[in-house]
Amino acid sequence: MSLSCRYAAQCCARQLRVAPLRASSSFLLQQQQRVARRCNSTEAAAPSNPKIAAIVDQISQLTLLETADLVASLKARLNIPDLPVGGFAVAAPAQGAGGAAAAPAAEEAEEAPAAQEKTLFTLKLQSFDAAAKPKIIKEVKNLLGLSLVDSKKFVESAPKTMKESVPKEEAEKIVAMMKELGAVVVME
């Protein structure tokens, strides 16, 4: 700990030891009142527009279910998409709870993006020529930023995903380069 930090810690400790001795009931009462005034202050949070103030008052009186309906209505009217909050953790329980009803909806959602042309791909190292193994290890090291040992383990554990969310042009370049070296890389 540096000297200034140590000094600050000692000063704080000293003040904590002395504070109970000089703290009178009136001093504590004044401190509590100051804190309560600061916490309960609504002057800074009060909107200046009376129309907005009325809306805030009305929303604050809604129940939880009414608030959920309000949010759904606003999302529908303003065309705001639902964003996944929990990522994959939210999707897994939904299938378990929904059962058969959730499965067809998920299949329809997957078929719609399939109709559009894919722009991002996942590159997977399928196999490689044993004679070209050192060159492939070197290239994987450069592409993925791994150490030489990790690159060797990566190549030897093929088939394995190399990169995800790669743009089409870059993915095609990587596939062509790896093909020249003697590796089979697949765009998924």
Closest CA to 144 of 154, 133, 159: 154
Compute φ and ψ for 152, nearest 5 degrees.
Answer: -65, -45
| pLDDT band, very low/low/confident/very high, at 64 (cuts 50, 70, 90) | confident
Q: Supply 137's token pair.
A: 């290890």
More confident residue, 30 or 112: 30
Q: Let me know: does 158 contact 128? Beta carbons within 8 Å.
A: yes
- Mean pLDDT across the chain: 74
- Give the per-residue pLDDT at 43: 54
Q: Supply 98's token pair.
A: 């929904």
- Give the per-residue pLDDT at 39: 57
The residue behind tokens 């959920």 is 68
- Give the per-residue pLDDT at 90: 44
Residue 50's alpha-carbon distances to 45, 55, 62, 70, in angstroms, are 13, 9, 19, 21
Q: Supply 125's token pair.
A: 């190292």
pLDDT tens per residue, range 118-176: 788 888 888 888 888 999 999 888 888 888 898 898 888 888 888 888 888 888 898 99
Give all strands of the β-sheet with 183-187 in edge-to-edge order.
160-167, 120-128, 183-187
| Other Cβ atoms closer than 10 A to 139 | 19
- Give the per-residue pLDDT at 143: 87
- Give the per-residue pLDDT at 62: 87
| pTM confidence score | 0.38
Mean pLDDT of 52-81: 86
Judge whether residue 108 has pLDDT over 80.
no
- Give the per-residue pLDDT at 92: 45
